[in-house]
Amino acid sequence: MADRLLGSIEAGGTKWNCAVGSGPDDLVAETRIPTTTPDETLAAVRAFFAEHEGLEALGVATFGPAELRRGHPAYGSITTTPKPHWSDTPLVGPLSDSLGVPVGFDTDVNGAALGEGRWGAAVGLDTFAYVTVGTGFGGGAVAGGRVAHGLVHPEMGHVSVRRHPDDDFPGRCPFHGDCLEGMACGPAMIDRWGRSPSELVGDERVRALDIEAHYLAEGFRNLVYVLAPQRIIMGGGVSKMDGLVPAVRAKLVDALGGYPGLPEHAQDDFVVPPTLGDRAGIAGGFVLAEQALS
């Protein structure tokens, strides 16, 4: 694809990262556009890509929920998002019509998974998960080389988790209370401790690390049993908490309880941070653009 000019969008709730090139290591141009209203944001996005003649395809990795079923009338749209003004906003149709190119479309976490699979921590693997722990909890799954989605994309943050024995926090998910997202997302940590993870020190920090690792390991146990991934990639702001990744690895081994007894689950390369870091989403947009061409 090195001789083709592609566009990539990582559409987030606060900003849209847009890039033109043949891939994340070969960029012609890049910009960030604030997420305001759909009309204003999409107009700025179209104007950016219209500046680049020869654009052959565009990939969009978006915040959601999103309609991914190609035969559905709302395919290519953001659906029932809590982001004000963005519910039921079509993306694929308006962008394809205005730019005159095919548009690949998926969620931001699925895009990040594709990016890590092509250029990052999952190179050479065909079944893996990418999760992001931040303001919420999102996850994308690749199974047999294909991104997994059916009636809807996977919602890994809403699986049930066993409660930590020393934690009485009720959870902050508006739908389920104490699901994985409700117990382990960044705002849950702030609510539980009264400050952000970066501000915790001493015994309080040790306790916070133990509780957070517990819930993430509980969630990852579900992934191990349902998806059978070769690797779990953990990104997002909370994941950068010093010591969290190795703590999750250790807790996951305990949570599995010796079943299925695979040595791979205890290795340092089973739960890993993203190689691409914050660039995984924009990298995934280029993979989606390639898929749109084929």
Question: Are the C-beta atoms of 118 and 126 separated by less than 8 Å?
Answer: no
- Tabulate helix, strand, coil % of the chain (nearest 5): 40, 25, 40
Which secondary structure element, helix H or strand E, spans residue 17, and what is its range? strand 15-23
Task: Give the model's pLDDT for residue 62.
Answer: 95
Those residues of the chain that have pLDDT short of 50 are: none
Task: Give the model's pLDDT for residue 286.
Answer: 97
Please tell me whether residue 12 adopts helix, strand or coil conformation: coil
Task: Give the model's pLDDT for residue 293.
Answer: 93
C-alpha 107/C-alpha 268 separation (Å) is 28
Task: Give the model's pLDDT for residue 82.
Answer: 82
Task: Give the model's pLDDT for residue 150.
Answer: 84
Question: Are the C-beta atoms of 4 and 52 separated by less than 8 Å?
Answer: no
Task: Give the model's pLDDT for residue 2.
Answer: 57
Task: Give the model's pLDDT for residue 149.
Answer: 87
Alpha carbons within 13 A on the beta-carbon side of 278: 6
Which secondary structure element, helix H or strand E, spans residue 93, and what is its range? helix 92-99
Question: Are the C-beta atoms of 272 and 121 separated by less than 8 Å?
Answer: yes
Extract the runs of DSSP E, i.e. beta strands, from 49-181.
55-62, 77-78, 89-90, 103-107, 128-133, 137-143, 146-147
Tell me the one-letter amino acid at 15.
K
Tell me the one-letter amino acid at 85.
H
Per-position DSSP letters for 233-275, written without gaps between them: EEESTGGGSTTHHHHHHHHHHHHHTTSS--GGGGSTTTEE--S
